[in-house]
């Protein structure tokens, strides 16, 4: 049975996905992506969408914004974002 993810969370996930496509080499965008995903994680847990929350947690565990460097996990995170 699939989870019913609230529309506002779905919109933020899509926003984060689009942002991540531009964020791999932009530290400020990486931080914004990380902030959005952290908020999405909390809201998914509050909504009882634990399977999707686990996927977001995996993304956050692999998202470590570093100033002045290209993201080592960009491809991995992009693939995970597509699956959500």
- Domain map of the chain by residue range? 7-83
pLDDT tier at 83, thresholds 50, 70, 90: confident
> Where are the alpha helices (H) located in the chain, listed in sequence order?
7-23, 27-46, 50-61, 74-83
Question: Which of 38, 26, 9 has the alpha carbon at shortest distance from 74?
Answer: 26
Rounded mean pLDDT, 2-28: 86
Could you read off the pLDDT of 29-70 as tens digits, one per residue? 888 999 999 999 999 999 999 999 999 999 999 887 777 666
What local confidence, expressed as pLDDT, does residue 69 receive?
65
The band of 80, judged by pLDDT with boundaries at 50, 70 and 90, is confident
């Amino acid at each position: 049975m699939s989870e019913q993810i609230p529309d506002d969370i779905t919109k933020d996930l899509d926003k984060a996905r689009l942002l991540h496509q531009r964020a791999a080499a932009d530290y400020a965008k990486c931080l914004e992506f990380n902030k959005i995903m952290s908020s999405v994680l909390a809201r998914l847990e509050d909504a009882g969408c634990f399977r999707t929350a686990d996927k977001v947690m995996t993304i956050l565990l692999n998202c470590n914004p570093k100033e002045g460097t290209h993201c080592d996990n960009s491809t991995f995170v992009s693939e995970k974002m597509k699956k959500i």
